[in-house]
Structure 1
Amino acid sequence: MTPESLKAQPLLRHWLGFTPEGRVQAFSGKVDLGQGISHALRLIVAEELRWPAEQIDMVPASTLFSPDEAVTSGSLSVQHSGSALRCAAAHWREACRQAMAERLAGLGVTLQDVRCEGGQFHAPAHLANDLANDLSHAALQASYATLSHAAMWDSVIEPAHAQATHAALDRHPRAAEPNPTVLRPDVAAKVFGEFEYIHDRVMPGVSHPMCHGMVFRPGTLSAEVIEHDMQALTTRLMAMSGVLQVVRDGVLLGVLTETERVLGEMAQHIEAGAEQGQFWRCAVQVPDPLDLPHWLKKQPLDTTVVADTSAPTQGTVQQHISAEFQRPFVQHASIGLCCALAQWTGHPSAPHLEVWSHSQGIYNLRRDLALAFDVPATQVQVSHVEGAGCYGHNGADDVAWDAAWLARQVPGRPVRVQWTRQAELGHAPLAPAMAVRIDAAVTPEGQLLEWTQTVWGQGHGTRPGRGQTPALLGAWQTAHPAPITLAVNAAMAVGGGSERNAQTPYNVPSLKVINHRVLNMPFRVSAMRALGAPVNVLAAESVMDELAHGLSQDPLTYRLAHLQGEQHARARAVLQQVADMAGWPLPGSSGLSPQPSPDRPEGWGRGLAYARYKNTGAFCAVVVELVVADKVKLHQLWMAADVGHVVDADGTINQLEGGALQAASWALCEAAQLSPQGITSNDWANYPILKFSDMPKVSVHLMPGADHASLGAGECSAGPTCAAIANAIFDAIGLRVRNMPFTPENLMRAIDSDEARAPFNPSFN
């Protein structure tokens, strides 16, 4: 099967190349966000070429030469770009093997006789002895450089041919465990502060040096300018030393300066004034944070039946359980601030815009920048430069627009724009609030008969490059604004959005999933790591846990009983593996879930959860150990994951750990604070995240998967971690918490709720 990324970019030169020094270049449209995908892709190319990984350069993505692979998201980089590069490298290797066989055909050498080792192609060893007098030993081997030719680079990659001939070669050992001999080339520089992030880049100007800029805006998507305040502010800014220009357009105020220090001083004044109601008059509908489901349900809705396998209920007796869960609006809270550089060059009649950005989608950004500034996309170039990492649609694209807008005021000069902490937390898109209701029916013995999962939430996508108008914050706020893009969900074929993981993985005869997309967006929302999966998995795994406890069945045994059949073999394996790691009794052993030993503190508990990401991606099971005292304190977290063929074990483990710990922060700490003037949780005091001192010990096991396709690891642990924490809290204090985050305040509210402490009773209904 042809990988999706190869369909639009089928030529070998789209993916691979040579440097003049003889190093291999590999091109990808997927960008490195700190997750180490460049290293994983490098290892894939090295494996297929039989070439040392240290001699392969992953070229940073640019719209000038990289394949268009849309957005780096959804844990799809290894699946999409990795499979394309694997086919490209195998195609190149096989083309060179064929060329080597043809070169030695007169000696009776066939394609199957040629082997590739260390980036060299070798004839059969016996020829070196049999023909020593007639042929030099050097002629019996050749490199990629000597065997490649122009027509080869323009050849169409043939995945079927590469896959068919691949079996004839000895495979390199699969990377089942971290390999300390093949290190990520960027880590040392990052640890010692020598790596050049986008924040560190200084661009030489054509005729003038780089200048600095900042765009100030209201805290809401739309607002009214307070002209008296704004005019006084503009006059003051223009009089400041070091200010080059002050620009007003719609509700936007832009400032260009010679130095970054001047911007920092004015930012403090403007942001403080805006919080006090100066400069802009804002008024937006604010949902009640204590009753988000009510707000979500009363908005205009676009309802979709995601799945419906309704069937006549088997058996005459059934019991029912209903439960509702919610997640608040969540912020990206990127520690590294969004930053971009931009420069306009060329004649005014044919301007050229070049942007340096840590965007997740350079081609999508290019398209919307072209729309926003009314220039052909061919006259816009976006090059990726690493930022400090991200995990969803943050402000990287918006700050690129800011830089381009300001750079237009000073043609020829590069402009650098970096958001402040207040802008980072106050203007980046939020993850949507969600409510999930589950209605399930079981037999008296606990067998699932019916399962209905109903979801309410806004869409999870307002990314650039997907609509007829630019989806960039600045473009929505000029004097002639583009229409604000309403958040939508991705198609279910790629995992969906708010309905992601809403289909239970367990055997149930009658399943129904309904998604209500909220058609109101008072605050901008978009994609956050794993989209709707964390709250959907939280809901489903909490209900499974509640059913098991109410029926006096072990939670692990109960799950395994509903994962019957060969199609669930990998799911059962990760559950059994994590149980073994955590010392959870396996089915057939005596006792229910582990009980604390005498030295365990009061409030100790353990919880278990499982999910397959998107129902098509990686399998992950999690056990959490915690103590509930004045707050919930995590002690240990165990994970077992099946991500198929592991390309880079160390990188995979890092991604699983990172996804789990971020999910733990969502579960225990994070909730945006909103007001009619905008997002008020715009500093770390008002938006706390999990601290280093809060981190548990984490153990990860990767399941053997050499015979399976690679699956992404970055998002699969999020849902099971949130759910395992909730189940561990129940195990610790008998409290079923259904509203994230599980802060002391929300725990107290749950204690006051009769429903939260009422165990599932097989006799009700």
Structure 2
Amino acid sequence: MKATRRNFIKQIGYVSIGFSMVGTVGLANGGFMPIDKTGSLLGTPDKDQINAWLQILENGKVKVLTGKIELGQGIRIAVAQMAAEELNTDLDLIEVNIAETGVTPDEGFTAGSSSIVSSAMAVRNAAASAREIILKIASKKWGMAISQLQLKNGKVLGPEREMSLYELLDGEQIEKTIAKATEYKGKTIRKYVGRPIPRKDIEAMVRGQEVFVQDLRFPGMVHARVVRPPSYTAKLVTINEAELERSPHLLKLVRKGSFLGVLAEDEYQAIRLMEKAKQLAKWNAPERLPGNINVKEYLKTLPADIETHEEKGDSDTSLKQSKKQLSASFFKPYLMHAANGPSCAVALFKEGELYVWTHSQGVYPLRRTLAKLVKMPEDAVHLKAVPGSGCFGQNGANDAATEAALMAIEYPGRHVRLQWTREDEHGWEPYGTAMIVELKAGLDENGEIDGWKCAIWSDGHSNRPNGNPNTLLPAQFLEEGYGHPGIGYRGGAVRNAIPYYDIPNLKVETHIFQGPLRASSLRGLGTYTNVFAIESFMDELARMSNTDPIEFRIRHSNDERSIACMKKLQEKLVGISIRGGEGLGLAFSRYKNNASYCAMAAHVSVDKITGSVQVKKMWSVVDAGETINPDGLKNQMEGGMIQSASWALKEEVRFDAQHITTLNWNSYPIFRFPDTPEVEVEVIDRVDEPPMGAGEAAQGPATAAIVNAIFDATGVRIRELPVNKELIKQAKT
């Protein structure tokens, strides 16, 4: 874990990173739509039809179509496993086409841990239904009983005869409605499903091959950069165009209201032109941010809409009558997505049609929004998803795609590549909102929770583009004067706010405000803060009740799967040695209270002199129902645990009166290799249960386990993030 880049390269010999100048060859998302296509683009495939999800190819392969984008969650290999299982076909004969307008089904956004639940299950149903239809066709054609036939590797096999699926169907696709199959091979045979099938794109990433949208190159491609204003509400007063146009490398200056961009043949030239244009531009920035203040205190002064989301029993009376009471306030700051690769897109405007290659997490919703913004018919706008070196949630991908489109329309006939800088990404992406959670609880004479009250302060948790142009960053600076998108999705604030425990008297309310920073979806939405608060509180209540933390949770649980996860975690912790200055913390949650179960533990070492915390090891037990790819599930959990630890110990967006000040990895640090703990994940595979999303199951309980471990080591309760070193230094030895 002490490896440097230099030593890593020495150990592997060398790393060759090449960029193809011939377009799309080698990219993991496969081929691209021909750019010389004329006429209207394809309509949206009907999700009820088999051919919307899979197509039989002449070369013996099966193409699987998913409307989800690959974010690192492994959806590409998972849907391939589903199709291969139901069609009894080698994985090498399965091609996967990820989200593309007019080609794949419209599955909205890749969000909410729903890729397996929706897309992979749709592929399973379509493939199983296709198998039964194909066997019926072969049975009728050959005059044989279905029991004498089987599918294998793109062929139908019968006694002494075989035929390719393509030939059997006379080159046609299966244009029939998906029906419930009589058998799902993924539940019975499990030749591919439930197996740790490796992802081929991982090797390509390690080798530095062309995988991401940032790697895209096209012949004759030009480069664009946007000249950023000094603040969210700044307006462009003037730009010395004459001086800028003296630059020999300028292809075009694009000005649309206060949106300002430059185009050049070479990327470095575009960067230099952007820097020069920034010096020649004058801005008016009347509104100011509430910089250099206590964010937690400021947020509670904002106007807020109050809503009760859950109320049962009489929490006020139960709290007054309780034998012991506890109250606490928890705070999470604004967080970045902190994508390793800044956002990027390529756009081409040709013969009245617009083509965009993007790592947006919703190509159809973005198409609706982009078409409205540029005043074009939707069927003249085509978006192709390409994986980005990115994140879970809404970072700058949609904005970069829109900026590239605006620039391409002004410079038709050539591909326009627009790459954000690190400062662009850190300073202009939508952040995960800051949140405050205030909890009160009371214990009865048996040491059990009798009353619980929760009050949450939060901005909206999603302002994704879905036909609403004001959610796109460049729209804020165009002549049309699109206004603030507003609070957005309010429901994210209450996600996991209702404890997944048996509490007779309970009340949960939210205070939704419009905060000072641009905010939208960040992995887990409000779950992260709510579970951090609830599980920290549960740990404190367990100690107040003189009960083992796991046993205390089990006593308040009536879900056998919850209990099974906690007991399995308990078994894993037997014999763990805790030395001086170290602590062990626990937590549990069920994501959304209806998805994956996760029990978590963290082992930390604390230096009370410096206040620094080292997370030594983390354990999790996850029950996500039926497991499609156990390695993929473990990878999701491991990544979530490490990301959550980074949020807990290091990350916080800061700003002054003008704009964001955390614009690089020094001012916004994240976990690096030496910080990374050992992680261990155990999967409870429940084949007879439906699969559940797990991409966001780990974040909340991981941070809660860490702060509970810090208390175990120091006696200091951490209620505000990131962990304050000064607070730990003041701990009693």
TM-score by length of 2: 0.89
Q: Which residue of 2 aligns with 1:155?
A: 176
Q: Which residue of 2 aligns with 1:363?
A: 364
CA distance in 2, matches of 1:716, 1:466: 29
Q: Which residue of 1 aligns with 2:67?
A: 29
CA contact (8 A) 1:461 1:527 kept: yes
Offset at 1:538? 0.7
Q: Which residue of 1 aligns with 2:189?
A: 171
- Please tell me whether residue 198 in structure 1 is matched to residue 213 in structure 2: yes
CA distance in 2, matches of 1:711, 1:148: 35
- Please tell me whether residue 345 in structure 1 is matched to residue 383 in structure 2: no
Q: Which residue of 1 aligns with 2:714?
A: 733
**Residue correspondence of structure 1 range 274-673 to structure 2 within 5 A:** 279=283, 281=285, 283-286=287-290, 290-292=294-296, 294-311=297-314, 317-346=322-351, 351-465=352-466, 467=468, 469-489=469-489, 496-518=491-513, 520-564=514-558, 568-583=559-574, 596=578, 600=579, 602-629=580-607, 630=610, 631-673=612-654
**Residue correspondence of structure 1 range 246-261 to structure 2 within 5 A:** 246-261=253-268
CA displacement, residues 151-185 of structure 1 (integer Å, 9 cap, x when unaligned): 76211111x2x1x344899522475453xxx4322
CA contact (8 A) 2:583 2:712 kept: yes
Offset at 1:280? 5.0
Q: Which residue of 2 aligns with 1:589?
A: none
Against the structure 1 CA distance between its residues 165 and 637, is the aligned structure 2 distance closer, same or farther, given a 3 Å change threshold?
Answer: closer
CA contact (8 A) 1:219 1:679 kept: no
CA distance in 2, matches of 1:270, 1:692: 38
Against the structure 1 CA distance between its residues 470 and 374, is the aligned structure 2 distance closer, same or farther, given a 3 Å change threshold?
Answer: farther
Against the structure 1 CA distance between its residues 673 and 64, is the aligned structure 2 distance closer, same or farther, given a 3 Å change threshold?
Answer: same
CA contact (8 A) 1:506 1:562 kept: yes
Offset at 1:101? 2.6
Against the structure 1 CA distance between its residues 7 and 308, is the aligned structure 2 distance closer, same or farther, given a 3 Å change threshold?
Answer: farther
Q: Which residue of 2 aligns with 1:83?
A: 121
CA contact (8 A) 1:17 1:25 kept: yes
CA contact (8 A) 2:600 2:705 kept: yes
Q: What SS does the corresponding residue of 1:732 show, helix, strand or coil? A: helix
**Residue correspondence of structure 1 range 649-728 to structure 2 within 5 A:** 649-728=630-709
CA contact (8 A) 2:113 2:693 kept: yes
CA contact (8 A) 1:432 1:459 kept: yes
Q: What SS does the corresponding residue of 1:298 show, helix, strand or coil? A: coil
Against the structure 1 CA distance between its residues 595 and 548, is the aligned structure 2 distance closer, same or farther, given a 3 Å change threshold?
Answer: farther
Q: Which residue of 2 aligns with 1:763?
A: none
Offset at 1:288? 5.7
Moved more, 61-70 or 241-250: 241-250
CA displacement, residues 251-300 of structure 1 (integer Å, 9 cap, x when unaligned): 222111111011223445667x69xx9745364232665341x3222212
CA contact (8 A) 2:230 2:283 kept: no
CA distance in 2, matches of 1:441, 1:235: 71
CA contact (8 A) 1:619 1:641 kept: yes
Against the structure 1 CA distance between its residues 151 and 243, is the aligned structure 2 distance closer, same or farther, given a 3 Å change threshold?
Answer: closer
Query: Which structure's CA Rg is the greater one?
Result: 1
CA distance in 1, matches of 2:482, 2:273: 28
CA distance in 2, matches of 1:627, 1:290: 29
CA displacement, residues 555-614 of structure 1 (integer Å, 9 cap, x when unaligned): 0110111113xxx11111111112222227xxxxxxxxx772xxx2x3200100000001
CA contact (8 A) 2:251 2:264 kept: yes
**Residue correspondence of structure 1 range 160-239 to structure 2 within 5 A:** 160=180, 162=181, 164-166=182-184, 171-173=189-191, 175-176=193-194, 178=196, 182-204=197-219, 209-225=220-236, 227=238, 230-231=239-240, 234-239=241-246
CA distance in 2, matches of 1:391, 1:176: 24
Against the structure 1 CA distance between its residues 50 and 212, is the aligned structure 2 distance closer, same or farther, given a 3 Å change threshold?
Answer: same
Q: What SS does the corresponding residue of 1:413 show, helix, strand or coil? A: coil
CA distance in 2, matches of 1:701, 1:470: 43
CA contact (8 A) 2:84 2:91 kept: yes
CA contact (8 A) 1:289 1:328 kept: no
CA displacement, residues 653-706 of structure 1 (integer Å, 9 cap, x when unaligned): 111111111111110000001112111101111100111110010001000211
CA contact (8 A) 2:81 2:91 kept: yes
CA displacement, residues 500-552 of structure 1 (integer Å, 9 cap, x when unaligned): 1101001111222111111x232210000001111100110011100111222
Q: What SS does the corresponding residue of 2:272 show, helix, strand or coil? A: helix
Kindly provide the amino acid, as one letter, of the partner of residue 89 in structure 1: A
CA contact (8 A) 1:304 1:514 kept: yes
CA contact (8 A) 2:58 2:166 kept: no
Q: Structure 2: 5+ residue runs without aligned partners? A: 1-43
Against the structure 1 CA distance between its residues 475 and 44, is the aligned structure 2 distance closer, same or farther, given a 3 Å change threshold?
Answer: same
Q: Which residue of 2 aligns with 1:240?
A: 247
Percent identity among equivalent residues? 34
CA displacement, residues 110-136 of structure 1 (integer Å, 9 cap, x when unaligned): x3454444444444xxxx5xxxxxxxx
Against the structure 1 CA distance between its residues 317 and 440, is the aligned structure 2 distance closer, same or farther, given a 3 Å change threshold?
Answer: closer
CA distance in 2, matches of 1:595, 1:42: 43
Against the structure 1 CA distance between its residues 541 and 235, is the aligned structure 2 distance closer, same or farther, given a 3 Å change threshold?
Answer: same
Against the structure 1 CA distance between its residues 239 and 269, is the aligned structure 2 distance closer, same or farther, given a 3 Å change threshold?
Answer: closer
CA distance in 1, matches of 2:163, 2:237: 73
Offset at 1:49? 1.1
Offset at 1:345? 1.4
CA displacement, residues 191-238 of structure 1 (integer Å, 9 cap, x when unaligned): 11122421221223xxxx2211111122432113353xx43xx44432
CA contact (8 A) 1:665 1:689 kept: yes
Moved more, 681-690 or 257-266: 257-266
RMSD: 2.4
CA distance in 1, matches of 2:289, 2:318: 47
Offset at 1:376? 1.1
CA distance in 1, matches of 2:535, 2:696: 17
Moved more, 553-562 or 18-27: 18-27
Q: Structure 1: 5+ residue runs without aligned partners? A: 1-5, 129-136, 491-495, 585-593, 758-765
CA distance in 1, matches of 2:188, 2:149: 12
CA contact (8 A) 2:83 2:123 kept: yes
Offset at 1:7? 11
Q: What SS does the corresponding residue of 1:243 show, helix, strand or coil? A: coil
Against the structure 1 CA distance between its residues 595 and 447, is the aligned structure 2 distance closer, same or farther, given a 3 Å change threshold?
Answer: farther
